[in-house]
Structure 1
Amino acid sequence: MGIMNATDFAVELRSVRRTYRRGPEPVVGLDGVSVGFPFGTFTAVMGPSGSGKSTLLRSAAGLEAIDDGEVRVDGTVLGGLRDKELTVLRRERIGFVFQSFNLLPALTAAQNVALPAKLSGRRPAPAEVTAALAAVGLADRAGHRPGELSGGQQQRVAIARALITRPAVLLADEPTGALDTRSGREVLALLRGMADDPGRAVVMVTHDPVAAAYADRVLFLRDGRLDGSLERPTAEQVAARMTALEAHAPEAHPSKAHPSQAHASEASAC
């Protein structure tokens, strides 16, 4: 990839360390991780249970305080921001897509898509919302509420919502985990296309080798540390690598399995 400058990265982690103290022994979530996610790329993050995947994603989003190191989003160091400034940055420069969609059931698809921009103090034009829905193939479903949409359609609304503020990075946490195979492939194809924008990066945590094969690069984590990568991977290569990692992974500590609905709810409102 050659020598890259800080401005080439949508998100960059520099020697990031995160430790959880929820029992007699501290549990390491991230152990000195340094990695950059360049603009115009799609990266999948994989690893055994408790390897640090979700911690990496939440740290990159500023949803998780780190103990040491530095996180930069679009060149801005998160550690130097006040709470209000961090909230604004997340709303304007980071898009989120979660397994559970996190759409507001009382709002239409168009209203859900417009919500992040409104929370940022900007009222998006109807044409802008329509264009976002059209980009995910749902312009004709603008007036439908989530309960009137399939799971795949709801996730596509969530992607449109994540993109309405034109973020520098789209962070996706198991975005196809609740979908059937066909809907999952449609969502992955959308994410693949979104990553081709030179002003955006897509970072996806997944356990699925087929999903990871849509990415330009797969990063592997084990025990909170980077454990290699694959460029332009096939599903078979990813599966083989995961099998090898899981064969050497220690039993996951219960305190490391801590997906936070509070984080997810906060992110969905950003």
Structure 2
Amino acid sequence: MDVGTPLGPPGVAHVNTKAIVQLRSVGKTYASGDNQVAALTNVTLDFLPGTFTAVMGPSGSGKSTLLHCAGGLACVDTGEVVVAGTALNGLSENALTRLRRERIGFVFQSFNLVPSLTVWQNVELPIRLAGRRAPQAEVTAVLAGLGLTDRVRHRPDQLSGGQQQRVAIARALVTRPKVLFADEPTGALDSRASRDVLVLLRNMAERSGQTIIMVTHDPAAAAYAGRVVFLGDGRVVGELLDPTPEAVAAHLTQLEQAPC
């Protein structure tokens, strides 16, 4: 995949019509006291349909900022983000909300479950919020795939942390979004549950054509993806295709040992 496709002439955006998510010369800066900290600098990336990409890098490299900007949770300062053919720059908050609800799924380290709702009700919530009736077969299939069939009537406070995380993942997957952004989606799971979730994500990309972008610190988790993009100091500094845990770990070690 081309991570360095140039922009067209001034005033003309380069568009890869095949990409579900495009970042073009994206920059994002945060204020830190009296200083400005560049979280992302000139990031250009494409994410194609049916691909599972892991984003990795040392602490502070810009991984979560990239995810937030690409998913429309944070505005970019420079450059352009396009999701499913829609440029995010300049969209109203209402338009962004509709896009996120209809085209994007999110999974974060915090579960964000509604405590008064059952597992089933939490999972079907995005469909209800979109004004549609939740197909029972879809909800059942997602819950079964994540090992939650026997927990459908439980509420979050009756579940372990790992189970709550699986409910959050099921809720993000049930609408079969065009792109799923996941920030450490297996962080609260044991090794077996983590493996099951990662296999599910990989199968969704390969069999359903969904685009999955996952931030992780774990080389073993990243190896389930077909591509790993590495960030360093807010810039794209490399990538691996068909990664192995050993290759990912070696690349990370090189980044962490690189001089500033």
1:164 and 2:174 aligned: yes
Secondary structure class of the residue paired with 1:238: helix
Q: Which residue of 2 aligns with 1:234?
A: 244
Asked if structure 2 preserves the Cα contact closer than 8 Å seen for 1:130 and 1:142, the reply is: no
Query: AA paired with 2:113?
Result: L
> Shift of residue 22 of structure 1?
2.4
Q: How does 1:1-270 map to 2 (within 5 A)?
A: 1=1, 6-248=16-258, 250=260
> Shift of residue 131 of structure 1?
3.1
Q: TM-score, normalised by structure 1?
A: 0.86
Asked if structure 1 preserves the Cα contact closer than 8 Å seen for 2:126 and 2:171, the reply is: yes
Query: AA paired with 2:95?
Result: E
Query: AA paired with 1:121?
Result: G
Q: Deviations over 1:200-250 (max 9, x none)?
A: 111100011111111100000001100010111111111111111111265
Whole-Å Cα distance in 2 between the matches of residues 28 and 197 of structure 1? 38
Cα distance, 1:104–1:126 mapped onto 2, change above 3 Å: same
Query: AA paired with 2:36?
Result: P
> Shift of residue 75 of structure 1?
1.0
Whole-Å Cα distance in 2 between the matches of residues 52 and 196 of structure 1? 27
Q: TM-score, normalised by structure 2?
A: 0.89
Asked if structure 1 preserves the Cα contact closer than 8 Å seen for 2:184 and 2:217, the reply is: yes
> Shift of residue 136 of structure 1?
2.9
- With 139-148 and 116-125 compared, the bigger mean Cα shift is at 139-148
Asked if structure 2 preserves the Cα contact closer than 8 Å seen for 1:100 and 1:178, the reply is: no
> Shift of residue 198 of structure 1?
4.7
Structure 1 unpaired stretches of 5+ = 251-270
- With 34-43 and 175-184 compared, the bigger mean Cα shift is at 175-184
Query: AA paired with 1:114?
Result: E
Secondary structure class of the residue paired with 1:228: strand
Whole-Å Cα distance in 1 between the matches of residues 176 and 195 of structure 2? 23
Q: Deviations over 1:13-44 (max 9, x none)?
A: 11100011222221001101000111111100
- With 15-24 and 63-72 compared, the bigger mean Cα shift is at 15-24
Secondary structure class of the residue paired with 1:79: coil
Whole-Å Cα distance in 2 between the matches of residues 158 and 11 of structure 1? 23
Query: AA paired with 1:82?
Result: S
Query: Sequence identity, in percent?
Result: 63
Structure 2 unpaired stretches of 5+ = 6-14
Secondary structure class of the residue paired with 1:8: coil
Asked if structure 2 preserves the Cα contact closer than 8 Å seen for 1:152 and 1:187, the reply is: no
Whole-Å Cα distance in 2 between the matches of residues 205 and 180 of structure 1? 18
